[in-house]
Structure 1
Amino acid sequence: MWGKINYNLSRKTIIGKKLTNNEKDISHMIQEFESIEKMMSVIYSEKNEGRVIFCILLLLIGKLDLGYVESYYFHYDEESKTLQYKEGYFNLDKIEEEELDEIYDSLSDIIEVDQAPFLKEILEIGEPVYDIKKFTELTPYTFLSRLNNFSVIPVGYADKNYGVLIMAGNKKLLKMGKRKRELVDIFKYNLSMYLYNRDLEKKELKDDRLKTIGYFANSIVHEFKTPVSVIKGFATLAKNKLDDPEKLKIYLENIINESDRIIEMSDEVGEYAQTRNSLSIEEEFYFQDVVKEIYKKFKNKFERLEIKPIFMEEKKILVKANKKTFSRTVCHILKNVAENVDYKKDNRYILFRFEEQDGRDVVVFEDNGCGIPEDNLSKVFSPFYTTKINGTGLGMTIVKEYYEKIGMEIKLESVCGKYTKLTVIL
């Protein structure tokens, strides 16, 4: 039985939790890894760092049969020069029950790197050290002293250390051959690049809005950089596999997929610029007519996702706007609903309500999907903010800016795990 480590420092408990089909977010990512090479284009687009790290630990320990039974990721804090536990994954069948308390106690350690010279040297050099039988140096840290037969893989990029992956075996000494080391190197490199890109994104998200043309241009360059990097990576791999048609086909498919992503991003950037700057021909039409027309395009997808549409029409709501641009805004809203489906719920729905409140026409889009964390609500309409695997982060920005441009108000409320409600006030 393979399990994930969850622990609560105040209660001093440690739990081995089975992966189940209900954990859709994790299992979906695993299914995307049809090949190790495809890992790059999947993890680079995932916004949840913990999920990515956990999946990598799972693959290293549970899927690749490297011979290890425990795996951990420790985050490195540059300011305090300490390592702190973040994620863990291990084989419960090969760990004795009495070891669980010891593992818990050891994970509560905050490791001061200066007091663990061996780890300090690994971080400084930046190269993995394999097949370590046991720590030979004295250390005050239980986690380090309890390990037998382990490997330490530093994770870092561009002179910045992000942390270390530590994989431990049982008492039998492992031998990491060349092929296994190459596999680990692939994961090390891609996790390092992923954390580096996330670092850049976090710095950019400190500004809620793009205030200058230069900043806007920088954000576009950054968003295009990931798929271009992936294309370059697969092109390099393809160049070295010209005599392997099967591998070559996989690489070329990924190049095509990432190229399509660039085209989609280009279209949305163009749409965003057009929405902000251009004048358009307006016409009159009913809001619900456009919603029903766009819903038909999403009908098959919503049926596959088992999302039931509910239309509540108390009033016909007249809109004066450019119909083509307005239709695209509805597309973005429905696309968001589809991408935020909660697979754990049985009675999934999308509610469309057209009514009058306090003398004003109101349209409500409500779904019982995953919801949005409170801290992220203010970011939803910010350009390039997204938590989707293949999103550009411009869709909801386009919706808000266009609606405000034609005199509408837009409000968003959500409770994580329960619902999301988008209200448009005319």
Structure 2
Amino acid sequence: MASNKGVQYRLWVRVGALAITLLTQYHLVYQGNSWITVLILLGLTAIQVVSLVQYLDRNTREVLDFLHSLKMDEVNAPFSTDDKDPTRQELYTAFNEVLAMVKEVRTARDEQYQYLKNIVHHVGIGLITFDARGDVQIVNTAARKLFGRSELRNIRELEMLNPALVESLRRLKTGGRDLVRLEREGDVEQLSVYAIELTLRGKEFKLVSVQNIRSELEEKEMEAWQNLIRVLTHEIMNSVTPISSLAGTVRGELEGQLTNDLEVNPIPNDEIEDLFQAVDTIQRRSEGLIRFVQDFRNLTHIPQPNKTRIEVRELLQPTVMLLQPEAEAKGVNLSLSVDPETLSVMADSELIDQVLINLVKNAIQAFDEDHEGVKEVALTATEDSRGRVLVHIKDNGVGIEEDALSKIFIPFFTTKKQGSGIGLSLSRQIMRQHGGNISVKSVVNEGTEFTLKI
């Protein structure tokens, strides 16, 4: 306010002086004084007018310079307050205070932007924004890892991964969800896709979150099967155990009766023998059912892994040596390759052995009797782009039908006549306890490949 009053005061002084000069000049002309005096007053008037114009122009330029500083974001170049005019010192001080406030607001805004940017790029869920043409504005670190790309300019670039993913990204509206299966680097991922639509400055954008929920799906599936198995085993064991026990008791009594004379025991021995065989069958089937149920109990009683650092070749070699005789007996060439040789992993060797034996044994048995050509089962260990160890068990056998391929990890499901259907379910649970997973791909009459990611 003080600066404003000072400016008004100086302006009124100049206007007043100019008015006095003009009145004096008018009076002298009216009185008929000499023209020299009149000319002097005219010159003085001109000087006053020029001074007034310069004064107003200077103030205008200073305000324009201030506004230009705001426009060009030159908030770090303050106005000098060394002017002798106290009014201008106050004006420049006010300008600098405004610039300081603007700088503080913009600094806070930039800090907030960087804070949100870091959150977006470090959050564990993949985030991607794109416009109606598919041009990508933001793609965070998690999304780049999921898509296996260092940069992404347009969502069309994802078609090489899975066209269904791009179609889902385009199709989903606000609140829409989708589940997309993605195969990459021998691994299968289940992507949960969620989208919302935004309008910013008249332009339409879409914000999509992408998350691999394969582990969660498998965990829920396994939990459901475990709960079912617990109920079934409890009920079956409660019923079968007494039957087996009573059958054993009756069997013992009948064995004793077979030696008795007809005078003591009026039932003929052949009838007793028939009863003995029937009871023996009941006992054997009951015991078989008990063993069957006890096998399924393994799915719910897997110990927690005791992990130690172990060389991958040292982890795989015992399985190869154990199953080499069986492979040779069936005419199968069983091989092992580790690249690099120094590859190591944190794992429980005893639990991983169960998985390897099951998978290699299945691979050795995956050939028809009339198989043409060389029968091969290859174990190869490599490292993926994320530093995870990949163990591949590949055969060139009969392969697995597509319908069965989606069910092979379900407890009790088996394609073998003598199979129990728990081997692969058990293997998947062991891999999950190691923080890894197991995946499979197969082509009928070409072979099957299981991949362990540890």
TM-score normalised by length of structure 1: 0.41
TM-score normalised by length of structure 2: 0.39
Largest Rg, 1 or 2: 2
Q: Which has the higher strand share?
A: 1
Q: Indicate the structure whose relative CO is greater, using CA pairs within 8 Å and at least 6 residues apart.
A: 1
